[in-house]
Structure 1
Amino acid sequence: MATASMHRTAWRPVLAPERGRAAAEIDLAAPLHRVMPLRAAGPVMPRLLHGLGTRSAARFIARGAAVATEIAGAAILDLAWPRRAARPVVEEGRARDAGASLALFLHWSPDGRVSGMVRRQLALWRDQGFTVVFVSNAKVPAADRDAVAEHAALLILRGNAGRDFGAWRDAFAIATRRFGMPRELLLANDSVLGPIRPLTPIVDAWRRAGEGMFGMTENIAPRPHLQSYLLLAAGERTVASVARHLLGFRDSRSKWRIVQKGEIALSARAVADGICCGAVFDYAAACRAIDPLTRRELGSRFVEEGTGRHWPLNPTIHLWRPLVAQLGFPYLKRDLLRAMPDATGPSAAWRALVGDGDAALIVDHLRIMGVR
């Protein structure tokens, strides 16, 4: 596997301690990363706490109205004109079939171009032993398809219906007809930028955990679930559970509905099926790592330690700095950088934690995505 580039700022990954275990008790010889179980679901956490935590009341009301409008409008259109992707076009790649480990990687960009960062991600998953299937919801130019074919065993081109879960559903059906049912199934998309830290220790942690569904980050709102930008289903029973979820997924125009019926419902299904679920970067560890600068950025509700439990946060958006700087999280979320002032400029907040080579790939990708 290619290694991540050197970084300007020194960092020391902090092993997320087991719940109820003091940091001082951690064996420093233990593996760098480990999978922490998804916390048990209690009463469904009020959605408003998730949205209100970092917003003023006025901004929260405006956001709520926008989401309600999006849901209602999409529901009417979905009922009147159900959205269906065009029949997928399948092309052969030049990468080999690696066997029982299958990766479904979703791509989208406004003009279909595939950035160097995305090609690097494909190569890294290939080098981790996965048969890589590249599925795009865009019209990918011929030159870019040829570049992707170096790292993928199969390329699938479809319309942008159902976002990531619709694409994974279609790709899973096509790929399993070609390669058979895998023992490992990786779901990935290009909504994360990087990796800016090595992936191998994280993949090793997933594989040490045995059978189950494993992710990068745990989100606790509206109920505990694994964020779906990167998930590994390990073991036949887990893959079968994920397959049932994907094949039963219905396309929608509503991003909110896709998150609810795709991402959040996937963890709920796995738990109901008795599948072990866990994240390398669990929510409690991310909250413990919050630094003073992050607290100031979050606002007055987070001045006191421990308030993340009362005002649940999206870890990849609100806790990005402690995740990367202290816990060794290897990605930055694209939506996070999109919301930053001067996201591609030299003074952008994320640059201090990223090496020059990785930064150049990220900036190029953001520009392809229309971010300046």
Structure 2
Amino acid sequence: MPPALRVAMDRSVIAHCGYHEGWMLQALYRRIRLRARIESIRDGGPKAHRAPARWVRRPTIKPGARLCIFVVLARGGRLLPHSIDHARAWHDAGYDVVITVVVDSLDQSIDTTPVDFADGLLLRVNRGYDFGAWAATIRLIGRTLAESSILAIANDSVVGPSSSFGAMLYRVAGSGADLVGLVESKERAPHFQSFVLFFKQNALRSRVFRRFWNGVRSGEREYVVNNYEVTMRSRFEAAGLRTEPLHAAGDLLWFNPTINGWRALLDAGFPYLKVQLLRDNPHHSPLKNWREAAARSGFDLLRLEHQLEELERIGGSPWAFRIADQE
């Protein structure tokens, strides 16, 4: 920490200063904090693999395996039903599942019994959002990862999946692309939204895959989105790899397809609903009769309601879907 910042943060020093000197030190403190934030957004922090992490159960990657690295945030020392159900869906579909649990501290007590089905279980301190967690897990698994036939990376920012999950995996398996995204977005630049992505063997064994994930740094959310989510597709294409979205944006310039175009996505076989849509609905998308739309698309409404009730307990209220229910 710069000496000036240490002085500016020392309240005992400020307390013994005159009015003008104390004001100037506080102003200096705010300016240095702002500069540090700007540098974090621009340059990022330490490499993602430097965040403290610990294997609870180390996976054994079998040649030809289908692998999913699933990142979940531990809330209040527990894993929520929507996270567990989503991770289990990958297991039931024949994927080896490595769950990375994001925690505040490695000393935090977490009940991992509900995910005993997982082939691997990693605890990692929260740095660099989901990209930091994926990058750290990929590095810790090591070179055996390249022996997988396909790697999926996923997180718990969605609820589901619906009964169309298997059809989605079938479409991915039939794709000739090396990097497959579920949903294409044209916000900022054409890219894949990152809550589920697939890497096939050409990608897993490529230099760009190694360089991309080895280069991931922690940082502010804007830094992570701009440098990793928005640029991944173009960087893989620049390296000669083929990419394909299952749900292309086409001529529709939705700000966020999973928010503004959620009905169209469900009708096209998309097996998820974004938590952000049902909680915040930031773009005020019409949610009327959302349950009927979900049921038509193959969601188990009883399970979905249970998932949302548990999320509501830690996410505040009222949630957007509850308001829509009353309209």
> TM-score normalised to the size of structure 2?
0.73
Structure 1 residues 114-153: aligned runs within 5 Å: 114-138=79-103, 144-148=111-115, 150-153=116-119
2:293 paired with 1:353: yes
| Contact 1:184/1:239, CA 8 A, preserved across alignment | no
User: Root-mean-square deviation (CA), in Å?
Assistant: 3.1
* CA distance 1:71–1:198, shift in 2 (3 Å): farther
How many Å separate the matches in 2 of 1:211 and 1:237? Answer: 9
Tell me the residue number matched to 2:257: 315
* CA distance 1:270–1:361, shift in 2 (3 Å): farther
The Cα of 1:114 is off from its aligned counterpart by 0.8
2:67 paired with 1:102: yes
* CA distance 1:210–1:151, shift in 2 (3 Å): farther
* CA distance 1:224–1:348, shift in 2 (3 Å): same
| Contact 1:86/1:158, CA 8 A, preserved across alignment | yes
Render the CA deviation track for 1:171-200: whole Å, top value 9, x for unaligned. Answer: 001123676642311110111111123211
How many aligned positions are there? 271
| Contact 1:105/1:135, CA 8 A, preserved across alignment | yes
Q: Percent identity, aligned pairs only?
A: 26
How many Å separate the matches in 2 of 1:250 and 1:123? Answer: 29
The one-letter amino acid paired with 1:205 is R
| Contact 2:45/2:217, CA 8 A, preserved across alignment | no
Tell me the residue number matched to 2:16: none
Tell me the residue number matched to 1:364: 309
Render the CA deviation track for 1:73-125: whole Å, top value 9, x for unaligned. Answer: 633457999456642110117x9856432211111144242112211211211
Structure 1 residues 284-363: aligned runs within 5 Å: 284=250, 308-309=252-253, 312-324=254-266, 326-340=267-281, 350-354=290-294, 355-363=300-308
The one-letter amino acid paired with 1:120 is D
The one-letter amino acid paired with 1:74 is R
How many Å separate the matches in 1 of 2:151 and 2:96? Answer: 10
* CA distance 1:143–1:277, shift in 2 (3 Å): same
How many Å separate the matches in 1 of 2:316 and 2:288? Answer: 13
Alignment partner of 1:172: what SS? helix
How many Å separate the matches in 2 of 1:194 and 1:351? Answer: 13
The one-letter amino acid paired with 1:327 is A
How many Å separate the matches in 2 of 1:238 and 1:96? Answer: 17
* CA distance 1:323–1:176, shift in 2 (3 Å): same
How many Å separate the matches in 2 of 1:236 and 1:80? Answer: 30
* CA distance 1:134–1:262, shift in 2 (3 Å): same
The one-letter amino acid paired with 2:119 is A
The Cα of 1:271 is off from its aligned counterpart by 0.8
The one-letter amino acid paired with 1:127 is D
Structure 1 residues 243-258: aligned runs within 5 Å: 243-252=210-219, 254-258=220-224
The Cα of 1:313 is off from its aligned counterpart by 2.3
| Contact 1:196/1:331, CA 8 A, preserved across alignment | yes
How many Å separate the matches in 2 of 1:246 and 1:369? Answer: 32
* CA distance 1:208–1:71, shift in 2 (3 Å): farther
The Cα of 1:269 is off from its aligned counterpart by 0.9
Alignment partner of 2:187: what SS? coil
Of 222, 225, 233, the match for 2:191? 225
Of 209, 214, 230, the match for 1:264? 230
The one-letter amino acid paired with 1:91 is V
2:164 paired with 1:198: yes
> Which structure's residues are more often helix, by fraction?
2
- Most deviating of 211-220 and 233-242: 233-242
The higher-RCO structure (CA 8 Å, 6+ apart) is 1
Alignment partner of 2:308: what SS? helix
The Cα of 1:362 is off from its aligned counterpart by 2.8
Tell me the residue number matched to 1:7: none
Larger Rg: 2
How many Å separate the matches in 2 of 1:183 and 1:216? Answer: 18
